[in-house]
Amino acid sequence: MYNILCTVPMQNFITACNILESIGNVKYLEYPKYEDVEKIISDFDGILPNARMRIDKNLLTKAEKLKIISMPAMGTDHIDVEECKDRNIKLYSMSDSKEFMSEISSTAEYTVGLILLMMKRYLVSSKSVLNTGEWKAVDYRGYDIKDKTVGLIGCGVVGSQVEKILLGFGTNVIKYDPYIESDDNTFVDLDVLLKESNIISCHVPLTNETKMMIDRDCFEKMNNIYFVNASRGEVIDDLALIDALENGNIKCAALDVLSGESSGDINSHLLVKYARKNDNLIITPHCAGSSNDGLEKIFKHAAETLIKNIGD
C-alpha cells in the first residue's frame, strides 16, 4: 500500500479519487502552505501536486520515500526537475501526453473567450449598466473578430487548438514557433507577427528561452492591438506591458497568469494595481484550464499515470 499526497481540488471528481485510493492511503490537502507540506512530505510515496506548489530541492531532500510526481497540468516550472532526476523521482506532466491533451479544449476555448471579452467590451458595458443604470450602447461599441489578423506565439497543443477555433470565426491566423519546421506560409518571424497582428496570444511554456521573451522591444513593435497571455506570467515584462497599455501599443490586454503568482501575494502585484484603476487590463486567476469537463479528464489521467508508474 502506498501513501499519496493530493494537493489539487480533486475530491469532487470521484472517478479520479477512486483510482488513487485503489493503491493506498490518499491525503487530500487543497492548496496547502509550503511549510505544511514540508512537515509531512517524508510520509509519501507519490504526489499529485497543484501548479502553485513549489517542489524545490529542500522539499525533495525531505521526501525520503517519494517515487513519483504526477502533475495534472502542462507546466513543471515550479518543480526542481534536475533534483528529481538526481533522486530518481519519476516526474510526469500533461506535456508528456500530447495526444491526450489534444482532446482537452479548455484553455483554447478560454483564450478565445478572453479575445471576445475585450473586443466586444462585455465587462465595461455591463459595469456601466449595473453601476449607473445607463443604457448607452453607443458608448460601448466593440469590434468584430472576423477578418482580423491573429498572431499566435507558440503552436503546440493549445496554440493549435486556438488556431482551429479562430479560423471558424473567419480570422487570418499567423504563427511564430521556432521549434516547428514547416513550409506553411502562415508561420512567420516574430517581428512580422508583432507588426502585422491585430490580436496576439501567447501559448509557450516557461523555459530559459521564453522567460521575459515578450519584452519592451516586442511591445514597442505592436500597434494598437489586443493581447492575451494564458501561458505563464513570466514570459512577459510586466513594466513594459503597463507602458504599452498606457501609450496605445496595446489597446487592451487579458491575462490569465501573473509573474510570481505562486507566492500568493496577488493583492500588491503591480499589474493588479494597474487593472484596478484601468479598464484596458483584464486579469483572471489562472483558470483557463479549469473547466469541470477538462479537469475530470485531466485528474483521471494524472491518477492513472501515477498508479501505473509508481511501482516501476
Over its C-alpha atoms, the chain yields an Rg (Å, rounded) of 21
Instruction: Dump pLDDT digits (tens) for 13-47.
Output: 999 999 999 999 999 999 999 999 999 999 999 99
Alpha-carbon torsion angle 244, 186, 99, 293, nearest 10: 50
Residue of 121, 163, 203, 232 marked active site: 232
Query: Residue 312: its pLDDT value, please?
Result: 74
Query: Residue 94: its pLDDT value, please?
Result: 87
The C-alpha cell at 164 is 482551429
User: Which residue intervals of 122-189 are DSSP H helices?
Assistant: 122-132, 157-167
**Mean pLDDT across 171-198:** 96
CATH class as words, domain 2-97+292-309: alpha beta
78, 52 Cβ separation under 8 angstroms: yes
**Mean pLDDT across 51-78:** 92
Query: For residue 96, is pLDDT > 90?
Result: no
Query: Residue 306: its pLDDT value, please?
Result: 97
Annotated catalytic residue 52: no
Q: How far is CA 79 from the centre of its chain?
A: 16
Instruction: Dump pLDDT digits (tens) for 159-180.
Output: 999 999 999 999 999 999 999 9
Residues of the chain with CATH 3.40.50.720: 2-97+292-309, 106-283
Half-sphere exposure of 209 (CA within 13 A, CB side): 6
Residues listed for the chain:
312
Query: Residue 104: its pLDDT value, please?
Result: 93
Helix or strand holding residue 199 (H, E): strand 199-202
**Mean pLDDT across 120-125:** 93
* d(C-alpha 42, C-alpha 62), whole Å: 6
Name, in order, each residue with C-beta under 8 angstroms of 207's C-beta and a sequence gap of 6 or more.
Answer: 77
Residue of 203, 234, 261, 301 marked active site: 261
Helix or strand holding residue 38 (H, E): helix 34-40
Instruction: Dump pLDDT digits (tens) for 217-276.
Output: 999 999 999 999 999 999 999 999 999 999 999 999 999 999 998 777 899 999 999 999
CATH class as words, domain 106-283: alpha beta
114, 230 Cβ separation under 8 angstroms: yes
Annotated catalytic residue 261: yes
Query: Residue 307: its pLDDT value, please?
Result: 95
**Mean pLDDT across 117-129:** 94
Type of residue numbered 107 = T
Name, in order, each residue with C-beta under 8 angstroms of 101's C-beta and a sequence gap of 6 or more.
Answer: 74, 94, 95, 157
Annotated catalytic residue 181: no
Query: Residue 5: its pLDDT value, please?
Result: 97
Q: Indicate the pTM of the whole model.
A: 0.90
203, 74 Cβ separation under 8 angstroms: no
Residue of 121, 203, 269, 286 marked active site: 286
235, 259 Cβ separation under 8 angstroms: no
